[in-house]
Structure 1
Amino acid sequence: MARSIIVTGGFGVLGQAVAEAFAAAGDRVARIDFSPEAPNAPGETPEGMLDIGGVDLTDAAATQRALDQVLGTHGGIDVLVNVAGGFSWEMLEGGAIATWGRMQAMNLLTAATITQLALPALKASAAGRIVNIGAGAAIKAGAGMGAYAASKSGVHRLTEALAEELGGTGVTVNAVLPSIIDTPTNRADMPGADFSAWVQPAAIARVIAFLASADGGAITGALVPVTRGG
Structure 2
Amino acid sequence: MTSVLIAGGASGIGAATVRRLRAAGAGVHVADIDAAGAAAVVKEVVKAEHPGLGTSSYCDLSTPEGPGQAVADALAAHGRLDAVVFCAGLLVETELADFTVAEWDRTMALNLRAPFLMAQAAAPALVASPHGRVVLTGSTAAFRGGGGSFAYAASKGGLVALTRSLAVALGPDGVTVTCVCPGWIDTPFNDPYWQRVGGRDGAQQALEARIPLGGQGEPDDVAAVIEFLVSPGSRYLTGQAVVVDGGLLAS
Higher helix share: 2
SS in 1 for 2:179: strand
Is 1:208–2:200 an aligned residue pair? Answer: no
In structure 2, how many angstroms separate the alpha carbons of the residues matched to 1:43 and 1:132? Answer: 21
What RMSD over aligned residues (CA atoms) do the two structures have, in Å? Answer: 2.1
In structure 2, how many angstroms separate the alpha carbons of the residues matched to 1:112 and 1:221? Answer: 14
Superposed CA offset, 1:187-230 (max 9, x none): 6935231466112110100111111111111100011110129x
User: Shift of the alpha carbon at 1:185?
Assistant: 4.9
The partner residue of 1:220 within 197, 218, 238 is: 238
SS in 2 for 1:86: coil
> Normalised by the size of structure 2, how large is the TM-score?
0.83
What amino acid sits opposite 1:20 in the alignment? R
In structure 1, how many angstroms separate the alpha carbons of the residues matched to 2:41 and 2:221? Answer: 28
What amino acid sits opposite 2:200 in the alignment? P
The number of residues matched between the two structures is 227
In structure 2, how many angstroms separate the alpha carbons of the residues matched to 1:184 and 1:148? Answer: 16
Identity within the alignment, %: 35
Matches within 5 A, 1:1-230: 2-38=1-37, 41=40, 44=43, 46-47=45-46, 48-53=53-58, 55-186=59-190, 189=194, 190-192=199-201, 193-194=204-205, 197-228=215-246
Q: Which runs of 5+ in 2 are unaligned?
A: 47-52, 209-213
In structure 2, how many angstroms separate the alpha carbons of the residues matched to 1:173 and 1:104? Answer: 20
What amino acid sits opposite 1:52 in the alignment? S
SS in 2 for 1:104: helix
In structure 2, how many angstroms separate the alpha carbons of the residues matched to 1:111 and 1:213? Answer: 20
Q: Which runs of 5+ in 1 are unaligned?
A: none
CA distance 1:160–1:187, change in 2 (3 Å): same
Runs of 4+ in 1 over 6 A off after TM superposition: none
SS in 1 for 2:56: strand
